[in-house]
Structure 1
Amino acid sequence: MDPKKSKDRPFYELPENVQASSRIIQDARTSLRTVVTKRPFTPRDEKRTLFPASTARNPESRPASAFSLNSRHFDGNDSRPVSGTKLSPLDHLPEGSDVRARAEIKTPRAPTAAEIETAILAPKPPADPNRPLSRKGSRQKLYNATSVDGGGETTSSVRPRSGSTDGRLLHESGSPDREVPRRVNSGPKERTLLPEERGMADGKEAAPRVSSSMGVSSPPRTGGSHDGEQRVGSGSSRKSSSAGKTRSGSAGKRDSIDIGDDNFYTDKVAPLIDEMSALGKNKDNEKLGELAEDLYIVLDTNKKLTKSYKQRSSILKAIFKLLDVEEPRVMLKLARLILAFKVGGNNLLNVCKLVFKVSRNEKNDQEFLEGNVLDLLIETIRSSDHVASCEALIYCVGAVKFLTGNPTILKRLAKKECIETLAGLMHNIEKTNRDNGRVNDQFGHILVQLCAALRNLADVGSGRERFLQTGVIESLSHLLDAYPNDCDLVLYISRIFSKVTLHTDCCTVLANQHSCYKSFIHLLNRHVNKEDVVVRVCFVLGNITAKNDDARKRLFQETNAMSTLLSVLKTFHNMESQKRSNPENVTTNGRHTNSDGDGAINTIDDVLIKVVRVIANLSINDSVGPVIASHVECVQLLLAILDSKDIGSSEELILNTVATINNLSYYTTKTSAITAHQNTVAQVLLKLVMTDNMEAMLEASRVFGNLTRQRTVRDLLSKQKVDEIMITLLDSGNRELVFIACGVLINFMADEDKRPLLKKEGGIKKLTEVLRDFGREDWQLGSVVCKVLCNYSTKITSTNSCFGEAEAQDLVDVLVEYLDRETALEASLREEVDEDFKDYLCETWEADFCPVASQLLKRIETYQSSFEPLEAPG
């Protein structure tokens, strides 16, 4: 290169094949960068409650978190019709009885057991003495007719002994007009005419019959038991069809099964129930818990824990009577039996409340690790109808939510596919809402518990993979769109997203949900004063825009996206100003937001950090960045934050804000607000360069590397001795800081009046030492050092006068050594060095270092002479 043609040209105006100084900051370490921040702090719930303490739910419309619960709340008669419609009474009653007389008076009172007993214990002799006195299966019906259910209690006036002949003929009608007493709570089946009645209706003489109330011996029952034909749990009216089968002649097979069940009940179950009932009265909780465990094992081993077991109703009613105990361990064991029988309706609701009540106390967590209570809870969630059993599911899922707060139980629930079960329930609720064309607010109560549980389950090792496999992230995104007004639900979903979006795969899934951007912007607008929601939504937006350029464009293109972000930024900056003016009275959401030395979290600062991070990440996109850089209000807000904050108390906020300004300062468009206010920006950043905070100095220097492309900025900073500070930073030992300082000095050396300072402050020697110390490991840094010296020596006439004799010789020695490939790459060519790193070093040496170093060496050698030029006469 001809020195006469190149000596007057600044280094940044060199040909395109040599990197110009205006592009230095675009290099790897000075290019646009995403901003990193920690996840928002989530305080641990002090108490286990159904809804968070800050809930905005109306107390009158939400389920109660505290309630009283005892045996009276359980329904012993669980065989009513599903519709709940009261059946009309039959118009025939036993003649000659007090019941008939009372019916004629039309009193609404139900007949007592004694009255029914009177009616049925005075039968006429049979018309045919040779007719059998009993029919198979009738004795149980007799017992049904002698039972009255009132509030879950059954009073029996007849207790036949097993095998007793006296109990085989308790009621029999010999005349065709004699009516059979109807069983209490009977269903439509029992209104069907008997054969002899049908005969009378046809005008034929009916054969003598035996009352259907006659029965064979049944197993002994406890005082609180109910007939074995009724089915407890579904809330429906479903009777045993044994009578019908007897009439059709198919009772033989059923009898053999019934006899086996009766023997099992008599021998195995009834003694345990009787003993449990006695212990319940004596309040012997320890022994009662043991017997409840024994009863469960007996029933489970013999596969009797089913809805079809004949004595299910009797067992459940006996258990219900024991639920006045206060011992959590016993309560849970009894609840385990009830859940295993798959009850429904009111009983399902109350047993879920019972489990919820036990799970509210952390001290009871150990009890849930025994037996299979966790399995039963998960199965209840999986099998229950979310429409019919909505309230029961609220408490059941709420109990699971509490239990996921225990690390040991949390891992066990994850292994039992709790995530998959909750995901299935969430999908079903989504489908129901979609099919109905509207959302059900009651489902929102379930979803709050569900999402709170998923928030904890996201922390388990396999949680993220399970979320991805079951489509949890997509469903949560849809729920945000469906329930934007439910603050509790929005909070828990944002907490889940703030956890899972720390991982790239989850970010990708969420970013591909195109509706999520609109939902997030809507949430920020609607909940702008709720920092616990805003801080997490902004954190999630920062995560999905950190590595996904398509997400940056989608978010920015969303209607009112930028104005919403700036509105949030302005709102919380104003809150901060109010806090400074009156720090004792300012609270948000009932929490003081000061940042003291006691470790308190400044939530306002946390929100500002997250919003600023989103803006920084958006500005990386080459089409979005220039638009944001031209937004005057955005730049003014960023500068206001820097001007009002101190690096000592708000370090992360200051660093993120400066990084955002650095990204925006990269775009030098005519409409850039940074360029229009460049002197103001420089003035604000000066205080950071003067601090002892190395990170703050580094970030401010990055911005100066962009701003000093303008002569006016260089003049301003030179007056503030920033160029001198940059020379001093060459001794810092921090490679990145040295790199940025060199980038700023490149621009300063473009001005001839600022070049002498470099030599005066020992900058030539410092740059040579930097090259010697870091060049072999960092050829990019070596290239920047050479660029500073090239710009400095643009008008060189003598090497010695320009650099100094000793400094020039040292510089030549280093350049000659480093331009020799074998010598320069000796360390990188060793076998133990990683192959990728070796290729990187070779590439940067050849592409970045050699062109500039060769030019500098040639210039030094060209003007190296023992003769000193004479200065022009004055």
Structure 2
Amino acid sequence: MDPKKSKDRPFYELPENVQASSRIIQDARTSLRTVVTKRPFTPRDEKRTLFPASTARNPESRPASAFSLNSRHFDGSDSRPVSGAKLSPLDHFPEGSDVRARAEIKCFQTPRAPTAAEIENAILAPKPPADPNRPLSRKGSRQKLYNATSVDGGGESTTSLRPRSGSSDGRLHQDQGSPDADVPRRVSSGPKERTLLPEERGMADGKEAAPRVSSSMGVSSPPRTGGSHDGEQRVGSGSSRKSSSAGKSRSGSAGKRDSIDVGDDNFFTDKVAPLIEAMSALGKNRDNEKLGELAEELYTVLDTNKKLTKSYKQRSSILKAIFKLLDVEEPRVMLKLARLILAFKVGGNNLLNVCKLVFKVSRNEKNDQEFLEGNVLDLLIETIQSSDHVASCEALIYCVGAVKFLTGNPTILKRLAKKECIETLAGLMHNIEKTNRDNGRVSDQFGHILVQLCAALRNLADVGSGRERFLQTGVIESLSHLLDAYPNDCDLVLYISRIFSKVTLHTDCCTVLANEHSCYKSFIHLLNRHVNKEDVVVRVCFVLGNITAKNDDARRRLFQETNAMPTLLSVLKTFHNLESQKRSKPENVTTNGRHNNNDGDGAVNTIDDVLIKVIRVIANLSINDSVGPIIASHVECVQLLLAILDSKDIGSSEELILNTVATINNLSYYTTKTSAITAHQNTVAQVLLKLVMTDNMEAMLEASRVFGNLTRQRTVRDLLSRQKVDEIMITLLDSGNRELVFIACGVLINFMADEDKRPLLKKEGGIKKLTEVLRDFGREDWQLGSVVCKVLCNYSTKITSTNSCFGEAEAQDLVDVLVEYLDRETALEASLKDEVDEDLKDYLCETWEADFCPVASQLLKRIEIHQSCFEPLEAPG
């Protein structure tokens, strides 16, 4: 290399064989940076509704948020205890039919009263034949012949029914071997309709019937079991059973069951029936306060004695009595009655209606306090856990919907979290996801549940332990899969994006989501599909900005996703055009384009918010060293960014402008031949000039960072010099803002490369200001001290005399500071004496030795060489 050429090379220029085209910018802290923004504002729902007011769901296919509900909607037949066997009706064929008759006969273990549904069927049934012993028949039905089972004290013995040999009319007769072969018997759906056997007649005539407890609500004492009833038949007829199984049953399990039944009878008669009778009377008198107290007492009695089970024999009677009280309008009483129904774990239509009942109460915030009493919250969670999401889909919609409403109350929210509500909802979500996967398609009905579920999780994400629970239960991964499965469900997409916008504020959640490779495709697909929905787009872009803020692998994956960059630019262009249209109609901005942000510090334009989030994603992507140059070469991207800067004012769109400038700074970092920033560098500089002239310190800082990159080109330096930007940078040395001073020094380094621009530094007092910066900030920030020395080194490249170059007083002050700071003991002792952090101590030592000393030594040596006209310095004493 030519020594003369090397000597004339400006300080900021590195040898050609050294690859560090942006080293000055890096040293001046203008390296690539992620962009920070606020989480999108989530408005609080004014009304508690099943679906958002903006839902696109078809009203005819979605469950209703408002409905009428009373006692008539509850079905008594569904409250039958599980121990009772439902008797299937026998069909009848006319005598002489050529069709072979078959009947499936099931015997009751416990006789029961006919239900309302059965009475209705009996009314609609065809007229029975004259022969009372002939079974009923319906047109077009067929009969089947099976064994009829008769329970005997816990054991089983069978007597077969079949057509008489040689008979062609299909009449049914009992087997000749049966003890009751000669006694015709009519089987029907209720004990009152059954023809009594001789033993039963004898029992009815010769024995006193068991006592019954009656009330105005028709509640009776429990009927006798099949075992005890059968035993009484045999005693009355004088017959006995020789089988060992029957004997064992009578002496063992049957006797035990009989003793339990007697205890249940006494408990019901003494404890339960009086309460139900009193509740019935109060229900008629509309005494809601007392009715609520009795409902609470009934629950306590049943729960204490462990009778709130599906196997309790009087469950059916109690539920029927409660159903008749549900016309009450008092929410407190309704909730206490619903509590009893839920505790009995009803199913089918009754489960649906009790969930609707709870949903109805939870819709009013004034009723929230009622859910804090008792264990209603536990029962709701248990219902979600135990209900089949396929068979009880609609019931779960309302049950989870009620939980969604309740999570809006901070007190209830914390309590639900402690009761593992997140784990319960996560389990339901996993089950739905598995069912969809097994079926090979998604269910729209499940979508209704998922909307309620995700809305509840959105609130639960704010709980202190919410994030950890989300990670432990795999909620984040499942939500990502749901986005892929339900991309057309706007409500579901909105709630999931709201959840992600909360949890991705934390690095651990960002990492989990970034590792879900399918999420990138899902997010890009959602942006394409819902580009006109601001609330969805702003959150999806915010989430993408979060996961690309610290994860370089996420940046690469997102950029490599098909149509990723075109989609982001399409969103940017769409909303920029929309803003331009609204700007032409200013009356629309106030009514349609603004809302209060979540910090309550002013108004934020919703379109601006979308633009901020999209630009942030582009800024974060450009940090990747392979992605950044490609984006910087994208002409449309650069033009859109410049158009936004040109059309916006720092006073009304501060965050948007700052983020846009930060993105341009990242792109200006790459000085490739195809860079659109380099191709339009003069235009970029012109647009940024207005920011340097403002009183906004942040705007000046961001614009100066870009100038630090752009001023590497002589044409840009000439343009900015004509606009007195170099003079502004000298003025900024007095700002007192260390970061702004740092950036100003970085720009001045480049300006001092031009000989014609150097005199301005001395003229504007820049030498003295730089020396003061070195004295004030040097010991605390050796990097800043380094860039100060670089400015002075570039300035003094053509030095012949220290006095003429710096000024006599200025040169002496500068030498004093440099001598002091280049002495290790003097410089570092002052820097480290008040510092306790060992890592920071190591950092200060490294930056002093690596950054400051080489440049400061070169500057001091240059000053001393050209200091011949100075008086010799006295040696220190």
Closer/same/farther in 2, CA of residues 826 and 127 from structure 1, 3 Å limit: closer
CA distance in 2 between counterparts of 1:754 and 1:235 reads 129
Q: How far off its partner does 1:358 sit?
A: 0.3
Alignment of 1:266-665 (within 5 A): 266-585=269-588, 599-665=602-668
Q: Secondary structure at the match of 1:592?
A: strand
Residues 114 and 157, structure 1, Cα contact 8 Å, conserved in 2: no
Unaligned segments of structure 2, at least 5 residues:
none
Change (3 A) 1:873 1:845: closer
Give 1:329 deviation, angstroms: 0.4
Change (3 A) 1:193 1:544: farther
* 3-state SS of 2:125 partner: coil
Deviation at 1:582, TM superposition (A): 1.1
Cα offset, 1:9, TM superposition: 1.8
Cα drift, residue 233 of structure 1: 37
CA contact (8 A) 1:717 1:723 kept: yes
Gaps of 5+ in 1: none
Q: How far apart, in 2, do the equivalents of 1:324 and 1:867 lie?
A: 106
State the distance in 2 between where 1:29 and 1:238 align: 100
Displacement of 1:257 in angstroms is: 1.4
SS in structure 1 at match of 2:167: coil
**Taking structure 1 as the reference length, what is the TM-score of the superposition?**
0.83
- How far did residue 103 of structure 1 move? 19
Distance 1:99 1:237, change over 3 A: farther
Give 3-state SS (helix, strand or coil) of 1:145's partner.
strand
Q: CA deviation at 1:599?
A: 3.7
Q: Which shifted more, 855-864 or 212-221? A: 212-221
Which whole-Å CA distance do the structure 1 matches of 2:97 and 2:644 have between them?
Answer: 92
Question: For the Cα contact (< 8 Å) 1:199–1:205, is it kept in 2?
Answer: no
CA distance in structure 2 between the partners assigned to 1:230 and 1:286 by the alignment:
48
Q: Deviations over 1:122-180 (max 9, x none)?
A: 99999999999999999999999999999999999999999999999999999999999
Query: Which deviations, in whole Å up to 9, do the C-alpha atoms of 1:72-109 show, x marking residues without a partner?
Result: 00001116899999987446899999999999999999
Report SS of the residue matched to 1:158: strand
Shift of residue 830, structure 1, vs aligned partner: 2.0
SS of 1:146's equivalent in the other structure is strand
| Distance (Å, rounded) in 2 between the aligned partners of 1:232 and 1:717 | 116
C-alpha contact 1:458 1:500 (8 A) present in aligned 2: yes
Task: Encode CA deviations 1:735-785: one digit per residue, 9 max, x unaligned.
Answer: 000000000000000001100000110000000000010000000000000
Shift of 1:256: 1.5
- The Cα offsets for residues 231-264 of structure 1, whole Å up to 9 and x where unpaired, read as 9999999999999999999643322111110110
Aligned length: 874
CA 1:196–1:90 in 2, change beyond 3 Å: closer, same or farther?
Answer: farther
Secondary structure of the corresponding residue to residue 127 of structure 2: coil
Q: Which moved more, 1:158-167 or 1:571-580?
A: 158-167
Moved more, 128-137 or 57-66: 128-137
Instruction: Assess if the C-alpha contact under 8 Å between 1:81 and 1:236 holds in 2.
Output: no
Match of residue 58 from structure 1:
58
Is 1:214–2:214 an aligned residue pair? no
Give the CA deviation at 1:185: 7.8
- d(CA) in 2 for partners of 1:810, 1:39: 50
The 3 A distance-change label for structure 1 pair 118 and 409 is: closer
- Residues 30 and 740, structure 1, Cα contact 8 Å, conserved in 2: yes
Which deviates more, 193-202 or 144-153? 144-153
Deviations, residues 320-366 of structure 1 (Å, cap 9, x unaligned) = 00000000000000000000000000000000000000000000000
**Structure 1 Cα separation of the partners of residues 465 and 688 of structure 2:** 46
Query: What secondary structure sits across from 1:837 in the alignment?
Result: helix
**How much has 1:865 moved relative to structure 2?**
2.3
Do the aligned partners of 2:203 and 2:236 also contact (CA within 8 Å) in 1?
A: no
User: Cα–Cα, structure 1 residues 209 and 535, in superposed 2: closer, same or farther, change >3 Å?
Assistant: closer
- C-alpha offsets along residues 286-344 of structure 1, whole Å, 9 cap, x if unaligned? 00000000000000000000000000000000000000000000000000000000000
Contact 1:141 1:214 in 2 (8 A): no
Give, in whole Å, the separation in 2 of the partners of 1:406 and 1:229: 59
Question: How much has 1:7 moved relative to structure 2?
Answer: 4.6
Deviations 1:356-383 (A, max 9, x none): 0000000000000000000000000000
Contact preservation (8 Å) 1:80, 1:236: no
- Given that 2:200 and 2:233 are in contact with CA atoms closer than 8 Å, whether structure 1 keeps it comes out as no
8 Å Cα contact 1:800-1:808 kept in structure 2: yes
- TM-superposed CA distance for 1:472, in Å, is 0.2
How has the CA–CA distance of structure 1 residues 806 and 216 changed in structure 2, closer, same or farther, with 3 Å as cutoff?
Answer: closer
What's the CA shift string for 1:640-696, capped at 9, x where partnerless? 000000000000000000000000000000000000000000000000000000000
Larger displacement relative to structure 2 (238-247 or 22-31): 238-247
Change (3 A) 1:610 1:487: same
Q: Which residue of 736, 740, 744 corresponds with 2:739? A: 736
Cα displacement (A) at 1:54? 0.6
**Conservation of the 8 A alpha-carbon contact between 2:801 and 2:866:** yes
1:17 deviates by 11
Shift in alpha-carbon separation, 1:371–1:678, aligned structure 2, 3 A: same
Q: Give yes or no for contact 1:127–1:174 (8 Å, CA) kept in 2.
A: no
TM superposition score normalised by structure 2: 0.82
Asked if 1:245 is matched to 2:223, the reply is no
Deviates more, 1:423-432 or 1:21-30: 21-30
Going from structure 1 to structure 2, the CA distance change for 1:228 and 1:681 (only over 3 Å counts) comes to farther
Q: Take 2:601 and 2:213, find their aligned partners in 1: how far apart are those partners?
A: 87
Per the TM alignment, residue 12 of structure 1 is displaced from its structure 2 partner at its CA by 2.0
Are the equivalent residues in 1 in contact too, given 2:80–2:315 (CA < 8 A)?
no
- C-alpha change, 1:133 and 1:298, in structure 2 (3 Å) is farther
Relative distance call for 1:720 and 1:539 in structure 2 (3 A) is same
SS at match of 1:155: strand
Greater displacement, 625-634 / 585-594: 585-594
* Cα offsets for 1:682-734 (capped at 9, x unmatched): 00000000000000000000000000000000000000000000000000000
SS in 1 for 2:231: coil
Change (3 A) 1:5 1:708: closer
CA-CA distance at 1:583 after TM superposition = 2.6
- Are the structure 2 counterparts of residues 341 and 801 from structure 1 closer, same or farther at C-alpha, using a change threshold of 3 Å? same
SS of structure 2 residue aligned to 1:342: coil
**8 Å contact kept, 1:113–1:148:** no
Query: Is the alpha carbon distance of 1:243 and 1:236 closer, same or farther for their aligned partners in structure 2, counting shifts above 3 Å?
Result: closer
Greater CA drift, 205-214 or 158-167 = 158-167
Structure 1 counterpart of 2:92: 92
Q: Which residue of the partner structure matches residue 7 of structure 2?
A: 7
Alpha-carbon distance in structure 2 between the residues aligned to 1:227 and 1:144:
18
Partner Cα separation in structure 2 for residue 670 and residue 237 of structure 1: 108
d(CA) in 1 for partners of 2:174, 2:455: 60
Q: In structure 2, what is the Cα distance between the partners aligned to 1:814 and 1:542?
A: 45
Deviations 1:477-512 (A, max 9, x none): 000000000000000000000000000000000000
Structure 1 window deviating more from structure 2 (689-698 vs 250-259): it is 250-259
Once the two structures are TM-superposed, the CA of residue 410 in structure 1 deviates from its matched residue by 0.3
User: SS of 1:141's equivalent?
Assistant: coil
Please report how far the alpha carbon of residue 866 of structure 1 lies from its aligned counterpart in structure 2 after TM superposition: 1.8
TM-aligned CA distance change 1:776 to 1:91, over 3 Å: closer
Greater Cα shift, 114-123 or 741-750? 114-123
**Deviation of 1:836 (Å):** 1.2
Say if 1:358 and 1:364, in contact at 8 Å, map to a contact too: yes
Distance 1:245 1:628, change over 3 A: farther
| Structure 1 pair 872–337 and aligned structure 2 pair: CA distance change class (3 A) | closer
Shift of 1:211: 24
1:636–1:119: structure 2 CA closer, same or farther, 3 Å change rule? Answer: closer
State how far apart, in whole Å, the 2-side matches of 1:687 and 1:817 are.
41
- 1:516-557 per-residue CA deviation (whole Å, 9 max, x = no partner) reads 000000000000000100000000000000000000000000
SS at match of 1:38: coil
1:658, 1:618 → 2: CA distance? 15
Correspondence 1:136 to 2:146: no
1:572 to 1:831, Cα distance in 2 relative to 1, 3 A = closer
1:231 and 1:501 mapped to 2: Cα distance?
74
Where does residue 231 of structure 1 map in the other structure?
A: 234
Deviation at 1:872, TM superposition (A): 37
Q: Specify the SS of the correspondent of 1:182.
A: coil
- Relative to structure 1, the CA distance from residue 165 to residue 671 in structure 2 (aligned partners, 3 Å threshold; closer, same or farther) is closer
More deviation, 233-242/827-836: 233-242
